[in-house]
Amino acid sequence: MAVDLQAAGGGPVLSIENVDVRFGGIHALKGVSLTVNAGEICGLIGPNGAGKTTLFNSITRLSTVTAGSIRIHGRAIEAVPARRIIGLGIARTFQNLGIYGAMTVLENVMLGAHHLTGGRFVEAMLRPGRARRVESETEQHCRAILEDFNLSGVAEAAAGSLPYATQKRMEIARALASRPTVLLLDEPAGGLTHGEVAEFGELVSRVRDHHGVTIVLIEHHMGLVMSLCDRVEVFHLGRNLASGTPAEVKANPDVIDAYLGRAR
Amino acid sequence: MSTQLLRFAPAALVAALLGLPLFVPDFLLFEISIAVSYGIAILGLNLLLGFTGQICLAQGALFGVGAYTTAILNVSFGWDPVATLPFAAISAGLIGVIIGLPALRLQGLQLAIITFGVASAFPQLLLKMDTLTGGVTGLATDQPFAPKWFPGSQEAWLYGLSLICAAISIVVVTRLLRGDTGRMMRALRDNPVIAEALGVNLTKGRLAAFAVSSALAGLGGGLFCILNGFISPQSFLPMKSIDILIGGIVGGITSIAGAFIGALFVVFVPGFTTDINPALGGLIYGLCLIGMMMIARQGIAGLRMEKLPAAILGVFKFKSSSRFPGAVPGQLGGE
């Protein structure tokens, strides 16, 4: 399916063209394309095994693309090491949480800001005053995010001791601490209760509005996808199946086929 | 009340350490100084194993690199022994980085074997390089004598030097463990994939930990050489690396105080057990180690007095599941 590269809006922040990913004999993605414009909330849906998470892993260089191209703000990322992706403005959350349970919430969120000022061993050893100043600036920045996410009360609690919904919220807070332009959320509402899902939707759209980030989310919770997303891309068996507004996608017979397996 | 007492605890500890020469005989002070030199090497291992999850069984060899750097600079080049200490740390640090290179690909048990290979090769290497190292006869170094104004004994002077070296090491490790570098090391230990997604440079983090850990081993070794006044390949057999590992685990692998407690354990307890029964010293020491790990799984520094009875009783409950997390999360599983 062709993707319109001249899409309206702020121009593509993320453009993926004909991407192939193979793991040994498994052909996880077969010529997938996706364009995400600045300020959008773009939903990726599709049955299990459609390749949605593999696509996220390709964007963050955890999986290697065998063919096709991925561009972030127009820059090809094939040769960029995984740890540099966050510096290009792409932050992500993980499907089954990627948090550090033994660390406090504040420490987890401050790790999000690691790529901005972190990793200076010599400075930490020889210029402790400077290191402490940078640390306190980072802490201030992160505490503001915790405040915004209503997590200030648990800032010093071990992340592993918190309820699942709070951990998910913390993971998004950590992603935001990296000052991203694009946020990739992998099933942010997975495992949440009905009430939590609604709260979550509000949080995501608030993040987009307040922090000016573009959001791509993988989600199975149709209610959330339909109410939250500006645009929905449907994947099936490693290919693009359909694309459009939530209403268009919902009415697409191919999509209904893929989900319900109705005989043609 | 107790929190107020705790506030004075560090000051009281420093006072006790400085006042020790007044109460302790010189030979014991010498042994404590030797323990401090091991403690510095163990502190390095704690940073490496406890905080980045990388095992190094060559710590004894790196200790030896530091000792020989000090001895060679003193014997062959006439340097003041104390002035050689920074170079002992630097040379061991550089060699540590080379040993650490395989750690970028291998973790856990494979890394343990590779580093132990270095420890095994080291004494032989010293013998082969006998023009520099003096071979089997070893090297005798000058001792820095106490200045005339110093009221105490020579042992007390060297004990003071040991404390200064330990203090510098503790400051370096504390600075690295707080703030971003500390979080980064724990992050790459607990989950390298997520750490990388967060922008952590795994290569840099792992090698930096190896460099600092090895430099501390080198500093400890240089100090050991000064204290002992004589070193030979016999002082740096592979078992030394195992002793350092035991000291780290028994003391508490994620504790700074634990490093020095563990050092005191490996220096003094084998002697105590031999005193109990000269023929069965090794057996009693072995049982001590087994008992330590059953009662204090997080090391002596992780022991809480109020939980001690429960921990001792817990030994007799043969449940398959461990109620305590391992001393070192995920260090032996490999990647």
Q: Residue B315 has what pLDDT?
A: 65
B329 interfacial to chain A (CB closer than 8 Å)? yes
Shared-domain flag, residues A223 and A166 = no
CA of B176, closest CA in chain A: separation in Å? Answer: 6
CB-nearest partner of A125 from B176, B184, B204: B176
Q: Which residue has the higher pLDDT, B328 or A156?
A: A156
Last residue of a domain, one of A149, A178, A207: A178
CB-nearest partner of B208 from A87, A121, A128: A121
List CB contacts (< 8 A) between B204 and chain A. Answer: 119, 121
A97 interfacial to chain B (CB closer than 8 Å)? no
| Chain A to chain B Cβ contacts (< 8 Å) | 100
A62 interfacial to chain B (CB closer than 8 Å)? yes
B205 found inside a domain? yes
Q: Residue B285 has what pLDDT?
A: 92
B183 interfacial to chain A (CB closer than 8 Å)? yes
Residue in B204, B70, B232, B205 with CA at minimum distance from that of residue B137: B232
Here the CATH number for the domain that contains residue B146 is 1.10.3470
Shared-domain flag, residues A71 and A140 = no
A48 found inside a domain? yes
Q: Residue A5 has what pLDDT?
A: 36
**Helices (H) and strands (E) in chain B — how many of each?**
15, 2
Shared-domain flag, residues A51 and A30 = yes
CB-nearest partner of B176 from A98, A103, A124: A124
A92 interfacial to chain B (CB closer than 8 Å)? yes
Shared-domain flag, residues A185 and A172 = no
B306 found inside a domain? no
* Interface touch B172/A119, C-beta < 8 Å: no
Low-confidence ranges of chain B (pLDDT < 50): 1, 320-335
Residue numbers of the domain that contains A164? 101-178
Q: Residue B228 has what pLDDT?
A: 95
Shared-domain flag, residues A81 and A189 = yes
Q: B95: Cβ–Cβ under 8 A, 6 or more apart, which residues?
A: B62, B65, B214
Q: pLDDT over 90 for what percent of chain A?
A: 55
Length of chain B: 335
B15 found inside a domain? no
List CB contacts (< 8 A) between A107 and chain B. Answer: 183
Mutate to test the interface with B, among A64, A95, A100 (most CBs of B within 10 A): A100
A236 found inside a domain? yes
Shared-domain flag, residues A171 and A186 = no
Question: Mean pLDDT over residues A232-257, rounded?
Answer: 88
A259 interfacial to chain B (CB closer than 8 Å)? no
- The total domain count for chain A is 2
* Interface touch B194/A100, C-beta < 8 Å: yes
Angle at B272 between CA B271 and CA B276, to 5 degrees: 115
List CB contacts (< 8 A) between B174 and chain A. Answer: none
Q: B45: Cβ–Cβ under 8 A, 6 or more apart, which residues?
A: B56, B59, B213, B217, B244, B245, B248, B253, B259
Q: Could you read off the pLDDT of B93-119 as tens digits, one per residue?
A: 999 999 988 888 887 889 999 999 999
Length of chain A: 264
Shared-domain flag, residues A57 and A170 = no
Q: Could you read off the pLDDT of B17-44 as tens digits, one per residue?
A: 888 888 889 999 999 999 999 999 999 9
* Interface touch B199/A83, C-beta < 8 Å: yes
A161 interfacial to chain B (CB closer than 8 Å)? no
A94 found inside a domain? no
B8 found inside a domain? no
pLDDT band for position A34 (cuts 50, 70, 90) = very high
Residue numbers of the domain that contains B204? 24-279
- The total domain count for chain B is 1
Shared-domain flag, residues A81 and A109 = no
B175 interfacial to chain A (CB closer than 8 Å)? yes
* Interface touch B184/A114, C-beta < 8 Å: yes
Residue A18 near residue A31 (C-beta atoms within 8 A)? yes
Residue A98 near residue A185 (C-beta atoms within 8 A)? no
Q: Which of residues 188-227 of B touch A (CB under 8 A)?
A: 190-191, 193-202, 204-205, 208, 212
* Interface touch B179/A84, C-beta < 8 Å: no
d(CA A79, CA A64): 10
CB-nearest partner of B200 from A60, A83, A99: A83
Q: Which residue has the higher pLDDT, B331 or A258?
A: A258
d(CA B53, CA B209): 10
Residue B188 near residue B200 (C-beta atoms within 8 A)? yes
Shared-domain flag, residues A185 and A263 = yes
A53 interfacial to chain B (CB closer than 8 Å)? no
B296 found inside a domain? no
B324 interfacial to chain A (CB closer than 8 Å)? no
Q: Report the mean per-residue pLDDT for chain A.
A: 88
A95 found inside a domain? no
Q: Residue B330 has what pLDDT?
A: 41
Angle at A158 between CA A156 and CA A160, to 5 degrees: 150
Last residue of a domain, one of A128, A155, A178: A178
Shared-domain flag, residues A169 and A231 = no
**Helices (H) and strands (E) in chain A — how many of each?**
10, 10
Question: Mean pLDDT over residues A208-234, rounded?
Answer: 90
B6 found inside a domain? no
Shared-domain flag, residues A168 and A155 = yes
Question: Mean pLDDT over residues A130-141, rounded?
Answer: 94
Shared-domain flag, residues A174 and A196 = no
Question: Mean pLDDT over residues A52-72, rounded?
Answer: 91
B308 found inside a domain? no
* Interface touch A86/B199, C-beta < 8 Å: yes
pLDDT band for position A58 (cuts 50, 70, 90) = very high
A125 interfacial to chain B (CB closer than 8 Å)? yes
Last residue of a domain, one of A132, A156, A178: A178
CA of B48, closest CA in chain A: separation in Å? Answer: 14
Residue A7 has pLDDT above 70, yes or no: no
List CB contacts (< 8 A) between A129 and chain B. Answer: none
List CB contacts (< 8 A) between B186 and chain A. Answer: 100, 102-103
CA of B104, closest CA in chain A: separation in Å? Answer: 15
Q: A11: Cβ–Cβ under 8 A, 6 or more apart, which residues?
A: A37, A38
